[in-house]
Structure 1
Amino acid sequence: MLNKRIITSQQLKPHSHSLHLYYSSSSPPSNQQAPPTASLISTVVSILTNHRSKSRWTHIHSLFSSSGFTPTEFSQVTLHLKNNPHLALSFFHFSTRKSLCNHNLLSYSTLIHVLSRHRLVTHARDLIRVAIRTPELQCSNKDANFVKPLKVFESLAKTYKICGSAPFVFDLLILECLEAKKLDGSLEIARLLRSRGISPRVSTCNALVSEVSRCRGACVGYGVYRQLFGLDCEIDGDVKWVVRVRPNVHTFNTLIVHFYGDGLLEKVEEIWEEMMALNCVANVYSYCVLMAVFCDQGMMREAERLWEEMKLNGLEYDVVAYNTIIGGFCKIGEVKRAEEFFREMGLSGLESNYVTYEHIVKGYCHVGDVNSAILVFKDLCRKGFRAEALTMDVLIGGLCDKRRVAEALEITRFSMRYFGFCPTRKSYEFLTKGLCGEGKMEEALKLQAEMVGQGFEPNLEIYEAFVDGYLKEGNEEMAAKLRKEMFEVQKQQEEQ
């Protein structure tokens, strides 16, 4: 049962998109310095706006190098420059570089608002990033990572109205908190906004859902999704659907892919149905993930139904879509059907990638057709692709099962030499057991030594393969010695 946080009816009352509602006053914090004199502000603003680039900085420095500016004075100057954000930012950098102002959250917040109003996102986020880590935010609270973003949020909220800002600034704060791995702070800011009827943008909500799902699991992410989009709202004891900002296809794709990644395949279908209920149009990525769910369960008829549905909806298949359905058919042994999609992929003008070839190699090995698997593997190599370790394990194992150990060893050495392939324990076991089975004990010993050199200690299967090999060639003494050693290893493993 997924956890769902209930939003109270008090939280759902409509409010204007005005952050001064958080506080009784929109004035700066009470611990700031006394208001600056009008003459100082007008002088600085006049110099900044009327003097040329070089002379303005020289003039300001000559006048204020000894006294400097308080954060309140800097904020007042910045407010006069709110229609010239680049000049305001230059003034900030100048005052910092020349140590003319000991900036605090008030001065940071004012400039962040000014930059956000003009959608200077990079500069605004740079300042937010510094503000989150500014020395004034150091505190004794052991949960400092939680407190810092809220202090920045409080300062931005208090200066919101006077700066004529917009809720977009809080999206930047949330995103920067996520970037700084301050997940709890990000969530609390989003909840504070929602409690006043203000929703972060849908892209910000999606980023929150994605990060929560990644860090705390898809079920927790789903609970956050329902909070952010107002889908669980208790009014007079009844749960009603109230959508302030509508989820989009990227929202549902985020949920779908994380549920799929967590192995909760039935939840993927539930999210799909919820997406349809909200009349959200699925895209190619959505279909690919749901197809992957069906393919993982061998439900290829359902996967093909989705494939046809994509065509009816006018969606163009991409490489991921083709690889998904090709992999599904290879998994259940219908490699010929997979080849049909592979040919269709080429005719459509799409370039196959290493994943496409790997699916088919593993598919042919799965049905025991190693000759076809080798042909496809050679095509893979000619294309300049490098097979993953799992694919190599399957191919090497398939060849060894057919008693073609020499070919398996040749492919292994070739891949090591030209593609930097590092054999896995599984590959070494296939090859060693294969050599022992053919009575090539010296080669098997050399390979087993190489295996140990790569950090893979011999297990019971390897010992049994050597014992059987020595018995076949009549070397009972060596077989008895190894059997004794095998029992000692087995005993040590049981004790551990």
Structure 2
Amino acid sequence: MATNSAVKAAKSFLNTTGFSPEPTLLEQYVKCLSEDGLVEEAVDVYNALKETGISPSVVTSNAVLLGCLKARKLHLFWELHKGMMESEVDLERIRCLIQALCDGGEVSEGYELLKQGLKQGLDPGHDVYAKLISGFCKIGNYACMSEILHTMIAWNHFPNLYTYNEVIKGLCKNKKHVEAFCIFKSLKEKGYAPDRVVYTTMIHGLCEKGWLGSARKLWFEMIKKGMQPNELTYNVMIHGHLKRGEFVLAGEFYSEMLRKGYKETTVSCNTVISGFCSHGKSDEAFEFFKKMSETGVAPDAITYNALIQGFCKENKVEKGMKVYKELKALGLKPSVVTYAALVRNLKMSDSVETSLNF
């Protein structure tokens, strides 16, 4: 792979001398530009080659397509691909096309292309399967996700922990916690050793479902295996207990998090404030909010919106309006839910609503 300085030197030489290299050298230049992230320049040279009647090799064509993908320039990718429709489709091209389809949200089309390739004996490899699995998890299509998982294993590509984590996260996100927990347990049975990321994902899913007993069991299992919870893992448990109104347990986890050396952050403070507000404890939330400035933690729009909604929920509109004015003074925006809560509580006229400058 060419270094950035080498590519710049080549560009400067060609631009200043007007030298016209042999097509093979130009193709090498296209590959270097693509690998170095200079996609527009690579496309220009590639198109110039074609205009002179030269057909770039499959390797060169794939290199420039891959460059477009890495630079997240899908429009350029598909423009180039239109001009390559008659060229040979090899394994690398299939990989590029499936990734482009997944990146563009057309994961089902990517799956069809995978099946076509496999019929021809073209196996695109582990990363492509993982990309498709992740894509189907995002749209909640677990039938196709499961099919790809089985196909992947049948072609001797064994999912890694990252892929399984994506599956578990996707299942939990779409309220399929039982299925997620089954996959998590099967991991250990298959000889995998779930890491802290996978444990945290599963603990989060169990907390969201309200299965705090199972979540705590995994918490202690993780620690027993030598994996210490990080700030995210603590935040997940704190949120889970607050969601259930178990403030004492949530406080114990919060205090332990600080004792372990993790500092308070905007995210952790928002978790506590939102938890208090959702259970009619907006005054306690406000006291916690005031301590944020003492510890140097900056509130954000989520902090203010949670407080305003909490006050409105308890009909403490004056306090809500005070926080609202502070929100606006900082240049932050109220959410649609926050604005609706204020309007509903104050029973404002249209003219007063307009004065909020929302």
Q: Do the structures match in fold with TM over 0.5?
A: yes
Give the distance between the partners of 2:204 and 2:15, measured in 1 at CA. 62
Alignment of 1:203-218 (within 5 A): 205-218=94-107
1:14-65 deviation per Cα after TM superposition (whole angstroms, max 9, x unaligned):
xxxxxxxxxxxxxxxxxxxxxxxxxxxxxxxxxxxxxxxxxxxxxxxxxxxx
Q: Is 1:374–2:251 an aligned residue pair?
A: yes
> Which moves more between the two structures, 448-457 or 314-323?
448-457
Q: Is 1:102–2:19 an aligned residue pair?
A: yes
- SS class of match (2:188): helix
Residue 108 of structure 2 is matched in structure 1 by 219
Structure 1 179/367 Cα, relative in aligned 2: closer, same or farther at 3 Å? closer
- CA RMSD between the two structures: 4.1
- SS class of match (1:376): helix
> Which moves more between the two structures, 333-342 or 181-190?
181-190
Q: Is 1:273–2:150 an aligned residue pair?
A: yes
In the alignment, is the contact (CA less than 8 A) between 1:295 and 1:328 conserved in 2? yes
TM (norm. structure 2) is 0.76
**Higher RCO (C-alpha under 8 Å, 6+ residues apart):** 1
Residue 447 of structure 1 is matched in structure 2 by 323
Unaligned 5+ runs, structure 1:
1-84, 138-147, 161-166, 232-240, 466-481
Structure 1 371/122 Cα, relative in aligned 2: closer, same or farther at 3 Å? farther
Structure 1 153/377 Cα, relative in aligned 2: closer, same or farther at 3 Å? farther
1:148-202 deviation per Cα after TM superposition (whole angstroms, max 9, x unaligned):
3882896353xx6xxxxxx54443232224346221145347754445xxx143x
Structure 1 154/399 Cα, relative in aligned 2: closer, same or farther at 3 Å? farther
Residue 72 of structure 1 is matched in structure 2 by none
In the alignment, is the contact (CA less than 8 A) between 1:218 and 1:262 conserved in 2? no
Residue 298 of structure 2 is matched in structure 1 by 420
Q: Deviation at 1:335?
A: 1.3
Q: Deviation at 1:364?
A: 0.9
Q: Is 1:459–2:336 an aligned residue pair?
A: no
In the alignment, is the contact (CA less than 8 A) between 2:34 and 2:67 conserved in 1? no
- Match for residue 262 of structure 2 among 383, 395, 398: 383
Paired letter, 1:243: G
1:379-405 deviation per Cα after TM superposition (whole angstroms, max 9, x unaligned):
4454126353xx755532432354433
- SS class of match (1:305): helix
Paired letter, 1:217: E
Give the distance between the partners of 1:407 and 1:256, measured in 2 at CA. 43
Give the distance between the partners of 1:254 and 1:345, measured in 2 at CA. 28
Structure 1 400/169 Cα, relative in aligned 2: closer, same or farther at 3 Å? closer
Alignment of 1:228-377 (within 5 A): 230-231=117-118, 241-244=119-122, 246-377=123-254
In the alignment, is the contact (CA less than 8 A) between 1:252 and 1:271 conserved in 2? yes
In the alignment, is the contact (CA less than 8 A) between 1:174 and 1:190 conserved in 2? no
Q: Is 1:151–2:50 an aligned residue pair?
A: yes
* The structure with more radius of gyration: 1
- Match for residue 174 of structure 1 among 33, 54, 65: 65
Q: Is 1:187–2:81 an aligned residue pair?
A: yes
Paired letter, 2:308: E
In the alignment, is the contact (CA less than 8 A) between 2:161 and 2:194 conserved in 1? yes
Give the distance between the partners of 2:27 and 2:106, measured in 1 at CA. 34
Q: Deviation at 1:284?
A: 1.2
Specify which structure has the higher proportion of helix: 2
In the alignment, is the contact (CA less than 8 A) between 2:207 and 2:240 conserved in 1? yes
Paired letter, 1:337: S
Q: Deviation at 1:362?
A: 1.9
TM (norm. structure 1) is 0.57
Give the distance between the partners of 1:153 and 1:215, measured in 2 at CA. 32
> How many aligned residue pairs are there?
340
Alignment of 1:74-153 (within 5 A): 93=10, 96=13, 99-103=16-20, 107=21, 109-112=23-26, 122=32, 125=35, 129=39, 130-134=41-45, 148=47, 151=50
Q: Deviation at 1:250?
A: 1.3
Q: Deviation at 1:213?
A: 1.5
1:285-343 deviation per Cα after TM superposition (whole angstroms, max 9, x unaligned):
22222222332344444333322332233322122211221111101111121122122
Give the distance between the partners of 2:132 and 2:340, measured in 1 at CA. 43
Residue 429 of structure 1 is matched in structure 2 by 308
- SS class of match (1:419): coil
Give the distance between the partners of 1:149 and 1:242, measured in 2 at CA. 33
Q: Deviation at 1:368?
A: 1.6
Q: Percent identity?
A: 19
In the alignment, is the contact (CA less than 8 A) between 1:209 and 1:221 conserved in 2? yes
Residue 35 of structure 1 is matched in structure 2 by none
Q: Deviation at 1:115?
A: 7.7
Give the distance between the partners of 2:51 and 2:216, measured in 1 at CA. 57
Paired letter, 1:407: E
Paired letter, 1:284: L
